[in-house]
């Protein structure tokens, strides 16, 4: 996929050749479980994630109907629903629209109502994961971005 970030979209891109074969131009494709659009908008990915998570809410409702404990339902939620919602979260969450964030958080709120307990928002999970990633990079001197985390000299 070619992502054109230029402001002028007047002329179509010339074909990209690899080993003499033209690379097919597509609007979106799935790569490592994430659907990436050629304009880097995550709407298709969010549609897929929300649909999959909503389907799994049915099973959470069934667990509640069987009278299982909140702890068991929480374990199911984290394994089957939250994992879907947060897969590659640090890649796409920072650039999704408010409307898409509302759709994602609606799934979390529904699960919260089903279980009868408060669940962390996707924003808080995103912040936790970013912070954790930053700490790992700051402690790994071989990481290419390590220099960005060096402490500033104290005056």
CA 117 to chain centroid: 23
Query: Does residue 53 sit in helix, strand or coil?
Result: helix
Query: Does residue 5 sit in helix, strand or coil?
Result: coil
pLDDT at 155 (0 to 100): 56
Copy the structure tokens of residue 34.
Answer: 């994430």
Query: Does residue 153 sit in helix, strand or coil?
Result: coil
Would you give the end-to-end CA distance of the chain in angstroms?
48
pLDDT at 126 (0 to 100): 93
Q: Tokens 């529904």 appear where?
A: 110
Instruction: State the average pLDDT over residues 78-85.
Output: 95
Q: Is the pLDDT of residue 30 over 80?
A: yes
Q: Is the pLDDT of residue 127 over 60?
A: yes
pLDDT at 33 (0 to 100): 83
Q: Is residue 89 within 8 Å of 126, Cβ to Cβ?
A: yes
pLDDT at 36 (0 to 100): 82
Q: Is the pLDDT of residue 87 over 70?
A: yes
pLDDT at 154 (0 to 100): 59
What is the overall mean pLDDT for the chain? 87
Closest CA to 120 of 92, 69, 81, 62: 81
Q: Is the pLDDT of residue 1 over 70?
A: no
pLDDT at 12 (0 to 100): 67
């Amino acid at each position: 996929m070619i992502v054109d970030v230029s402001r002028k979209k007047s002329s179509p891109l010339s074909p990209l050749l690899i080993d003499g074969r033209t690379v097919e131009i597509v609007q979106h494709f799935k790569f490592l479980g994430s659907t990436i659009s050629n304009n880097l908008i995550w709407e298709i990915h969010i549609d897929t994630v929300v649909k999959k998570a909503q389907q799994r809410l049915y099973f959470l409702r069934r667990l509640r109907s069987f009278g299982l404990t909140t702890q068991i339902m929480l374990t199911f939620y984290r394994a089957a629903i939250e994992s879907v919602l947060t897969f590659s979260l640090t890649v796409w969450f920072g650039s999704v629209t408010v409307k898409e964030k509302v759709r994602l958080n609606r799934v979390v709120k529904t699960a919260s109502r089903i279980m009868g307990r408060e669940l962390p928002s996707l924003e808080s999970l995103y912040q936790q994961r970013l912070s954790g990633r930053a700490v790992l990079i700051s402690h790994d001197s071989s990481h290419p971005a390590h220099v960005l985390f060096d402490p500033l000299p104290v005056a």
